[in-house]
Amino acid sequence: MAHFAKVVDGKVVKVIVAEQSFIDSFVDDSPGQWIQTSYNTREGVHTEGGTPLRKNFAGIGFSYDSDRDAFIPVKPYPSWTLNETSCVWEPPVAHPADDGTEYTWNEDTQTWDSAE
């Protein structure tokens, strides 16, 4: 089985699990197109060592960029920029080292604040 994302005007509106033969024979009269996505692809890397597909596993609300052939998550904050290699959004300040503390991004101060 594979995963397919329904893309309408560049936005993912649905993700399903289906055989390629179903997608090939399915009559869908609604606008948009079905594009295969890989559950095992994150940040341009296949988590099980296979060939990555379209940079990221598609989620509802993600964008599909046909020029990059990539699914791109929703931009979480205005200050974050797109990493062109992984097609994920990155903060202007790196996340603190894993020290056991939970942090949240503060867009007003452009810093990571302790959530504890």
- Are residues 16 and 44 part of one domain? yes
- Are residues 20 and 58 part of one domain? yes
More confident residue, 26 or 65: 65
- Are residues 53 and 92 part of one domain? no
- Are residues 60 and 87 part of one domain? no
Q: Give the number of domains in the chain.
A: 2
> Read out DSSP for 76-100?
-STT-EE-TTT--EE-SSPPPP-SS
Q: What is the mean pLDDT of residues 27-40?
A: 95
Residue-range definition of the domain harbouring residue 106: 76-116
- Are residues 16 and 59 part of one domain? yes
Q: Which residue reads 């200050």 in tokens? A: 79
- Are residues 39 and 23 part of one domain? yes
pLDDT, tens digit (0-9, with 9 covering 90-100), for 77-93: 999 999 999 999 999 99
- Are residues 116 and 88 part of one domain? yes
